[in-house]
Amino acid sequence: MNAPLRVLVLWFPDWPLRAVLGTPAPHPPTALLRAGIVTACTASAREHGVRTGQRRRAAQGAFPALTLLPHDPVHDERAFHPVLKTLERLSPGVSLLRPGLAALRARGIARYHGGELEAGIALREQLAENGYPEVRIGIADGPFTAELAARSAGPVTVIPPGKAPEFLSPMPLQVLRDEELTSLLIRLGVHTLGEFAALPGHEVRARLGDRGARLHALSGGSDSRPLTPVEIDPELAREIEFDEPLGRADQIAFAVRQTADAVTVALGLASLVCTEVRIDLTDADDRVHSRTWLHPTCFDPGDLVDRVRWQLEALAAESTTETPDDAHAFGGILVVRITPTAVDDAAHHQPGLFGSGTDERLHHAVSRVQTMLGHHGVLTAEVSGGRWLADRQQLTPWGERAVLERDPTRPWPGSLPDPLPAEVFRPPRAVTVLTARGTVVQVTERNDLTEPPAQIEGAAVRGWAGPWPLHEHGWEDTGRAGHRLQIVDAEGRAWLVFHSGERWWAEGRYS
């Protein structure tokens, strides 16, 4: 396998806030909201307990004087265009990962400045002179390690060639940005990238498939983008030509949607995904405006349309700067061409059944079983929102897209925290919870047990915790109420039971 690229990543902390406030940090306590959720907050707000992901009420409760502003991702993109133009003047080949994060190959700029550290310092000084002193720079083997280096403590962090495994080893699994894999590994006792990388590669591939194997390689310091680019089939490129020049970015973006779909369809037929793309815009004067775009994972049609729109807006902004009286001095666009310049195996980017990579044989086998048993004979499980375990378990027929009835990201007061029971009884199973005298344990009006539990289902109780009251929709006839209790019996089985209507019911079992 070829050595990874030496990549320089530039990270602008809290970019959405910088885009709105227009000045570098420090900022007063401020948070951005989208759909009632905090999407970004300043360092001064974090000092008062405000966090991303909080609801408006929780953020205001943490700091009542917090300034709340709406978050517009499109504004983030537009505000980052001047940064990209500055970077392109300083070094060619800049790739936008997302607003506030950009990357470029380190080799050329390092040779110009006499070294990677010297290049990072010089680039940071020039950006500071242009009004962006907050930028942090990371240089490492591949964009994954370089981004994490940029997010470390220093203003310029260089990870020497071959030292990525040592740098990555103590980092938490969450930096992989794969919630399903992270949750599984933590339950297995793996908490850091180093611990994940230490697992045998063949066993990781057998259990987690190609996607898991790729993340396992990243954890060990390997990057999926080789030094020698893969030769791309020119048939994968697609273009659209307009009958007359179009000058509005939204108009062109709407028209190019089918072209973006055609690109991803062509890639899909070849079992590939695009990780880097070049977009060529030909204007009415036959000038071609090209830019290469990089994606941290892979492009979908919506991502491609976004890049076309971003490139158009940057072109319009540049034309406005040069000729302020004409916002579309480039003369309109006649042709848009989308060309994949770097591709990867689609199996590396598609999560599959049971947390493993996609497997065509598995798909055919499951589909055959479904044909024999009926459409609802084979189901896949999704975690939904709710307070009761049965509500959180939603089953969807194999092959259908899951549409969750209850949003799992909303707060559900009274819901059971992780780890959840491995087995859920649906409907709840009646059980006997007895005292040492052989009578049924009851719950008092003060939410206390009448006597400690001594037996459950004929087995002696080794330990217990609770009870915890749970009341849902008490104002309705269909409302449910009970008291939860966790019990471990002498056989090592852990039960989750609840008391309702003078009886005990098993809601789930941990082992």
Is residue 476 a contact partner of residue 454, using CB atoms and an 8 Å limit?
A: no
The domain limits of the chain are 6-157, 164-219, 234-348, 359-412, 423-509
Superfamily of domain 234-348 in the CATH hierarchy: DNA polymerase, Y-family, little finger domain (3.30.1490.100)
Predicted pLDDT of residue 30 = 93
Query: Which tokens go with 465?
Result: 């915790």
Neighbours of 230 (CB within 10 A): 14
Q: pLDDT tens digits for the chain (511 residues)? A: 445 678 899 999 889 988 888 888 788 899 999 888 999 999 899 999 999 889 999 999 999 999 999 998 878 887 888 888 788 778 777 777 888 888 888 888 888 888 889 989 999 998 988 888 889 999 988 888 888 999 887 889 999 988 888 999 999 988 888 888 888 888 888 899 989 988 888 888 888 877 788 888 888 887 644 333 344 567 788 989 998 888 888 888 889 999 999 988 888 887 788 878 889 899 888 888 888 776 656 788 888 888 888 788 777 776 665 444 333 445 688 899 999 887 776 665 555 444 444 444 565 566 556 556 655 677 777 777 777 777 777 777 665 556 676 777 777 776 777 777 777 877 888 888 888 888 888 888 787 888 888 888 888 888 888 788 887 765 655 567 788 888 888 888 888 888 887 788 888 888 6
Got the DSSP string for 55-97? BHHHHHHH-TT-EEEE--HHHHHHHHHHHHHHHHHHSS--EEE
Predicted pLDDT of residue 474 = 56
Angle at 292 between CA 290 and CA 297, to 5 degrees: 155
Distance CA 493, CA 495 (A): 6
Pairing outcome for strands 37-41 and 30-34: antiparallel
Neighbours of 361 (CB within 10 A): 7
H-only helix segments in 22-175: 43-46, 56-62, 73-90, 106-113, 116-129, 142-150, 164-168
Is residue 191 a contact partner of residue 181, using CB atoms and an 8 Å limit?
A: no
What CATH number is given for 6-157 in this structure? 3.40.1170.60
What phi and psi, each to the nearest 5 degrees, are found at residue 94? Answer: -75, 135
